[in-house]
């Protein structure tokens, strides 16, 4: 029967990293979960991400606080064995190329240190010794320790396998049906019929907008990435991912100038375990997954400007994914007002690999009738007006 407080059946909509994590943590709590996916696991943003598990890339405030907890959970799940072999611990090195970037970077480093992050400033000879491949014009580097990297689709696969829940593939949820009183969701509607449950979690990335009636608040944010051929010695010369200060500025533009902005470039050069480099990425107000020469060319030119030896490598692959951004720059996590059994976890923009496992655990607590462990009030779904939630 639908809508029973304390009931044990849950429908999770979406098998990206957030839905997969939610499914895993709910299963551990003894819930009977049905995981319904429009296409295939990790077929959207979670399968097209870089994979930085990073506090350094967050603005001070609720996202930085959440990211600290997100990394701590990655380490905990690695210790427990669930993420064995999947989480690579490494620093993030943020670099500034001119006076204004130096000023922004110094301010950001102070904020990170204020949150307890370990970091060190590198200039002059110390910078050249630590980062021999970085261009001589780079003025300042800040190495932020205790960060990491994980590949989104591997995390999704691990969560789903460990949960023991079969994924119901190729089964888009077309709407949510309310009970007669309109106080609970009674069923998720699919082409195969109505799926009833006690609780419903919408973790459908960009597909959440229609299901939650939040199309006004959500925006697609395309990102293009490039992968080089292997160059293990060069990759080993970088202690971790190299992030231009402009990356932060490109992210910030989403929050401050979302509607008006077009295409932004925020350069990150990530040395992968394979010895390849992942170079990203754009932020574009578009919803397609194509690549274009202009974007790829500018990403490569930016990367070579920061690390000249990359010019010797061939780019062997370009791909793109679509992030789901929210108008105010914060995700949507929590119970949906007006329904006692409907929860949302979506809109993680470029941070969902870092935050997905944590948010899945938080949502499992809410479904279980417990308070969240993290202050999720800034992420409350009720901060936006909803339209046409229920079919």
Residues interacting with ligand FAD, by CB under 6 A? 13-19, 36-39, 43-46, 48-52, 152, 172-173, 203-205, 207, 211, 223, 225, 280-281, 321-323, 346, 348-354, 356
The DSSP secondary-structure symbol of 145 reads E
Helix (H, G, I), strand (E, B) or coil at 306: helix
The distance of closest approach from Cβ of residue 46 to ligand FAD in the complex, given in angstroms and rounded to an integer, is: 3
Residue number with CB closer to ligand FAD (127 or 283): 283
The distance of closest approach from Cβ of residue 292 to ligand FAD in the complex, given in angstroms and rounded to an integer, is: 14
- Whole-angstrom distance, CA of residue 370 vs CA of residue 116: 28
Q: Which residues contact 85 (CB under 8 A, 6 or more apart)?
A: none
Nearest to 356 by CA among 169, 61, 83: 83
Minimal CB distance residue for ligand FAD: 207
β-pairing verdict for 119-122 and 140-149: antiparallel
The distance of closest approach from Cβ of residue 363 to ligand FAD in the complex, given in angstroms and rounded to an integer, is: 11
The distance of closest approach from Cβ of residue 245 to ligand FAD in the complex, given in angstroms and rounded to an integer, is: 16
The distance of closest approach from Cβ of residue 124 to ligand FAD in the complex, given in angstroms and rounded to an integer, is: 30
H-only helix segments in the chain:
17-28, 62-80, 99-114, 124-130, 152-163, 208-212, 232-236, 245-257, 293-306, 352-367
Encoded tokens for 171? 């089964």
The distance of closest approach from Cβ of residue 299 to ligand FAD in the complex, given in angstroms and rounded to an integer, is: 11
Residue number with CB closer to ligand FAD (127 or 346): 346
CB distance 177 to 388 below 8 Å? no
Residue number with CB closer to ligand FAD (15 or 279): 15
Residue number with CB closer to ligand FAD (22 or 127): 22
Helix (H, G, I), strand (E, B) or coil at 143: strand
HSE-up of residue 190 (Cα within 13 Å, Cβ side): 21
Residue number with CB closer to ligand FAD (3 or 14): 14
- Whole-angstrom distance, CA of residue 203 vs CA of residue 12: 7
Residue number with CB closer to ligand FAD (172 or 368): 172
Residue number with CB closer to ligand FAD (178 or 195): 195
CA distances from 76 to 52, 91, 114, 287, 308 (A): 17, 18, 23, 35, 38
Residue number with CB closer to ligand FAD (127 or 356): 356
The distance of closest approach from Cβ of residue 389 to ligand FAD in the complex, given in angstroms and rounded to an integer, is: 13
The distance of closest approach from Cβ of residue 352 to ligand FAD in the complex, given in angstroms and rounded to an integer, is: 2
| Burial classification of residue 269, based on how many CB atoms lie within 10 Å of its CB (0-12 exposed, 13-18 middle, 19 or more buried) | buried
Angle separating helix axes 62-80 and 352-367, nearest 10 degrees: 80
Encoded tokens for 195? 């799926």
The distance of closest approach from Cβ of residue 162 to ligand FAD in the complex, given in angstroms and rounded to an integer, is: 17
Residue number with CB closer to ligand FAD (133 or 205): 205
């Amino acid at each position: 029967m639908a809508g029973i407080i304390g009931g044990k059946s849950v429908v999770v909509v979406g098998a990206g990293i957030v839905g997969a994590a939610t499914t895993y943590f709910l299963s551990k709590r003894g819930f009977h979960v049905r995981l319904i996916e429009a296409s295939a696991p990790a077929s959207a943003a979670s399968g097209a991400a870089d994979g930085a598990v990073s506090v350094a890339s967050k603005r001070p405030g609720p996202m930085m606080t959440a990211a600290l907890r997100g990394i701590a959970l990655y380490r905990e799940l690695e210790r427990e064995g669930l993420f064995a072999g999947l989480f690579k611990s490494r620093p993030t090195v943020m670099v500034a190329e001119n006076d204004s970037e130096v000023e922004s970077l110094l301010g950001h480093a102070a904020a990170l240190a204020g949150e307890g992050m370990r970091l060190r400033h590198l200039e002059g000879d110390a910078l050249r010794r630590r980062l021999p491949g970085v261009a001589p014009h780079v003025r300042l580097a800040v190495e932020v320790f205790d960060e990491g990297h994980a590949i989104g689709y591997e995390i999704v696969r691990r969560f789903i396998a460990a949960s023991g829940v079969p994924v119901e593939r190729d089964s888009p949820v077309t709407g949510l049906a309310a009970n007669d009183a309109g106080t609970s969701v009674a069923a998720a509607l699919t082409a195969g019929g109505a799926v009833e449950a006690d609780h419903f979690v919408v973790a459908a990335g960009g597909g959440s907008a229609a299901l939650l009636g939040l199309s006004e608040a959500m925006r697609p944010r395309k990102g293009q990435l490039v992968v080089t051929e292997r160059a293990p010695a060069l990759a080993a010369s970088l202690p971790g991912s190299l992030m231009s200060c402009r990356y932060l500025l490109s992210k910030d533009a989403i929050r401050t100038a979302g509607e008006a902005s077009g295409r932004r470039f925020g350069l990150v050069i990530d040395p992968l375990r394979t010895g390849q480099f992942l170079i990203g990425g754009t932020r574009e107000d578009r919803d397609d997954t194509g690549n274009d020469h202009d974007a790829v060319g500018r990403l490569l030119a930016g990367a070579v400007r920061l690390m000249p030896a990359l010019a010797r490598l061939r780019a062997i692959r370009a791909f793109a994914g679509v992030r789901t951004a929210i108008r105010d720059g914060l995700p949507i996590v929590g119970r949906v007002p007006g329904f006692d059994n409907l929860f949302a976890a979506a809109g993680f923009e470029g941070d969902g690999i870092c935050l997905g496992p944590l948010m899945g655990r938080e949502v499992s607590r809410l479904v279980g009738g417990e308070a969240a462990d993290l202050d999720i009030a800034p992420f409350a779904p009720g901060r936006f007006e909803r339209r046409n939630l229920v079919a």
